[in-house]
Amino acid sequence: MTDQEPLDLGTTELSADEEARIRRAHDLDRPEVFDERNDVDRRARTRANLLPEELGAGSADPEAQAREVLRDSDVRTEIPESAPDTMVERRESDA
């Protein structure tokens, strides 16, 4: 079974009501549901195989580390406002 701590949105500019709505809509307070919907456990097992450049640094728990990286990526993908400082700015050409 996976860690049951609520998933972190990081620092946002969302109001408390908007954050609560987003947390409900994306199951951030129910990580087991979030993980199942995003197939995090299967993906973590695959990703836990360290790349050659990662083997040097090692990991005490590669699967848990992979799960956290995947969760963070999935949260940022589903909820772009969860990481306003890392959002890619998109501009349209004037031409």
pLDDT by residue (tens digit) across 32-88? Answer: 999 999 999 999 998 888 778 878 888 889 999 899 999 999 999 999 888 756 555
As a whole number of angstroms, the distance between CA 33 and CA 39 comes to 10
Cα 22 to chain centroid, rounded: 14
Residues 6+ apart with CB under 8 A from 35: 2, 41, 67, 71
Query: In degrees, to the nearest 5, what angle opens at C-alpha 8 toward C-alphas 3 and 12?
Result: 175
- Note the pTM of the prediction, 2 decimals: 0.73
Contacts of 44-51 with CB under 8 Å at 24 or more apart are 44/70
Q: Do 90 and 54 touch, CB atoms closer than 8 A?
A: no
